Amino acid sequence: MNFDPQNMPKHVAIIMDGNGRWAKQQGKMRVFGHQNGVKAVRAAVSFAAKHGIEVLTLYAFSSENWSRPAAEVSALMSLFMKMLDSEVKKLHKNQIRLKILGDKKGFSESLQKRINEAETLTANNTGLTLNIAANYGSYWDITQAAQQLAIKVKLGEINPDEITPERFQLMLVTGNQPQVDLLIRTSGEQRISNFLLWQIAYAELFFTPVLWPDFNDNTFSEAIVAYQQRERRFGGC
């Protein structure tokens, strides 16, 4: 599928949905779907790096996902740990910078340590920035940004009237990264699920019935083509 390499989105965010349904179709437990979803993650990262996308954000684990069955949460945490161990060196070799977005205090000390090591190792890489949103929710993100600014006001570092959208945006976990241009959600669901609510203000939305483990270059290309066919007005005429 052909798309214009000169008109690529700078920041693509993906809600990786459908692992559980994919596993059910195979007659397997949900964790089997999560395990197979890792292949789709590799494919998406490779595609983004190859085609000059600056930032790729993947919604891996929301702050609401803790309410899932304990066995599934435990399996997800183990998979996350395993991914950090097995994939980070490959990311580093390919100049990919890894950032984990979310409330890291919710993770075990050993997982927090692995996250810190992975982010430190890749911090100075100059290729694709790969954000993994884990224990992330946009309500939390916006709240923590507001708290940071409230502390600055309390300490007299800034005045309330100096709080602008631009300053507020810098306090979000995405910091000075470009706003999301294209949001993709797999599995046919058409909702945002508390994901990057501020950052997707003017994003183009693409919903596909493809379940996440089946997501591949063709699906990613379809989303890029759809993005390039739209006229982005940013609130103008």
Q: Which positions are catalytic?
A: 17, 65
**Residue type (1 letter), 223:** A
Burial of 121 (0-12, 13-18, 19+ CB in 10 A): middle
* Strand order across the 55-62 sheet: 97-101, 129-136, 55-62, 11-15, 182-185, 204-207
d(CA 237, CA 230): 14
Residue pointed to by tokens 């006229």: 231
Residue pointed to by tokens 């340590």: 113
| SS3 state at 80 | helix
d(CA 203, CA 208): 16
Maximum C-alpha span of the chain: 60
- DSSP assignments along 111-147, one per residue: HHHHHHHHHHHHTT--S-EEEEEEEE-HHHHHHHHHH
The encoded tokens of residue 30 equal 């949900």
| Among candidate residues 77, 129, 134, 81, the one with its CA nearest the CA of residue 103 | 134
